[in-house]
């Protein structure tokens, strides 16, 4: 998808789980005696019909299993979970370029600290971290250069890029009800709410734009992990929704 590197969207991953084909039902063969040729021929014919029936039943079961698996995968992808690729460095080091994440579409209410995939400012899939929710006042920065939410400074060291800082741009916003203030973890490489303050919502996004919450990295396997809410954003804040 054609977007600038610092605001690239997460792209849906491809592929759905398949089903193993069921094997053919076993058929036991029997031999007819020399003195009963007619009976032997009739018996062979009856067994042949059973063989044919067994193979047909096994094929139908295999097809049914495959179709059921595909339908289940499509339903999961549409309504429950979805895979997305990370195409840029805007969420480093939490998420790195080419990571694959699983997104929960039934995540419930979006909270501070959630890493969410949403339909972004260019109508592209975008992934950022929620810093403030409706009713919050988010500000940069206090005397120590920290972002504050409702006057409470955030300790962002656990997720902020180690060579970066909370923000090079000063701002103070009251987040409207039903909207979210989002930022990338690699602040200097992220075109997030700060870069869209002139647009509708003053840089915030609507909760309705959220596709789901990214809850795990599953590829590459060496980076597989669960994405948890940072302690600094999991606390109770005053003057919230």
**Is the C-alpha dihedral spanning 46, 48, 52, 57 positive or negative?**
positive
User: What's the rounded mean pLDDT across residues 149-170?
Assistant: 96
Question: What is the structure's pLDDT at 27?
Answer: 26
Q: Which of 79, 110, 138 is the last residue of a domain?
A: 79
| Catalytic residue (choose from 8, 100, 128, 139) | 128
Q: pLDDT grade, residue 225 (50/70/90)?
A: very high
Same domain, yes or no: 197 and 130:
yes
Tokens of 137: 């006042």
* SS3 state of residue 27: coil
Q: pLDDT grade, residue 59 (50/70/90)?
A: confident
Same domain, yes or no: 187 and 217:
yes
| Catalytic residue (choose from 83, 88, 90, 167) | 90
Q: Which of 57, 79, 101 is the last residue of a domain?
A: 79
Q: pLDDT grade, residue 15 (50/70/90)?
A: very low
Counting the structural domains of the chain, the total is 2
Residues 107, 12: Cα–Cα separation, whole Å: 18
47 belongs to the catalytic site: no
Same domain, yes or no: 162 and 43:
no
Question: What is the structure's pLDDT at 75?
Answer: 57
Same domain, yes or no: 113 and 219:
yes
91: nearest Cα among 122, 132, 138, 127: 127
The boundaries of the domain holding residue 67 are 32-79
Residues 116, 105: Cα–Cα separation, whole Å: 10
Same domain, yes or no: 60 and 151:
no
Q: CB atoms < 10 A from the CB of 132, how many?
A: 28
The H or E element that residue 76 is part of is: helix 37-79
Q: Which of 50, 79, 108 is the last residue of a domain?
A: 79
Same domain, yes or no: 132 and 176:
yes
Of 90-99, 110-119, 232-241, the least confident: 232-241
Q: CB atoms < 10 A from the CB of 215, how many?
A: 16
Same domain, yes or no: 44 and 113:
no
* pLDDT value at 25 more than 70: no
Phi-psi region at 111: left, alpha or beta (left = phi > 0; alpha = psi -120 to 50): beta
Decide if 3 is inside a domain.
no
User: What's the rounded mean pLDDT across residues 169-182?
Assistant: 96
Q: Give the CATH number, domain containing residue 201.
A: 2.10.109.10
Q: Which residues contact 77 (CB under 8 A, 6 or more apart)?
A: 16
- φ, ψ of residue 22 to 5 degrees: the values are -70, 145
Q: Which residues contact 75 (CB under 8 A, 6 or more apart)?
A: none
Same domain, yes or no: 116 and 50:
no
* pLDDT value at 175 more than 70: yes
Under 8 Å between Cβ of 85 and 13: yes
Question: What is the structure's pLDDT at 39?
Answer: 37
Same domain, yes or no: 93 and 196:
yes
Same domain, yes or no: 112 and 210:
yes
Mean pLDDT of the chain: 79
pTM over 0.75: no
Per DSSP, 168 falls in state: S
52 belongs to the catalytic site: no
Q: pLDDT grade, residue 212 (50/70/90)?
A: very high
């Amino acid at each position: 998808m054609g977007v600038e590197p610092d605001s690239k969207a997460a792209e849906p991953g491809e592929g759905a789980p398949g089903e193993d084909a069921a094997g053919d039902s076993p058929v036991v063969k029997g031999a007819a005696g020399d003195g009963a040729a007619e009976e032997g021929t009739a018996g062979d014919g009856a067994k042949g019909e059973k063989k044919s029936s067994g193979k047909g039943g096994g094929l139908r079961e295999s097809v049914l299993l495959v179709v059921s698996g595909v339908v289940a995968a499509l339903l999961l992808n549409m309504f429950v979970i979805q895979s997305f690729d990370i195409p840029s460095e805007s969420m480093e080091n939490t998420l790195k370029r080419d990571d694959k994440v699983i997104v929960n579409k039934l995540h419930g209410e979006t909270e501070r600290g959630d890493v969410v995939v949403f339909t972004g400012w260019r109508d592209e899939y975008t992934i950022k971290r929620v810093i403030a929710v409706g009713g919050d006042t988010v500000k940069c920065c206090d005397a120590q250069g920290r972002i504050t939410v409702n006057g409470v400074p955030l300790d962002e060291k656990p997720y902020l890029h180690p060579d970066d800082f909370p923000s090079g741009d000063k701002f103070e916003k009251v987040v409207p009800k039903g909207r979210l203030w989002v930022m990338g973890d690699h602040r200097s490489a992220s075109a997030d709410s700060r870069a869209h303050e002139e647009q509708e919502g003053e840089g915030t996004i609507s909760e309705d734009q959220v596709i789901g919450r990214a809850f795990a990295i599953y590829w590459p396997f060496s980076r597989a992990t669960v994405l948890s809410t940072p302690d600094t954003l999991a606390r109770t804040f005053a003057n919230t929704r």
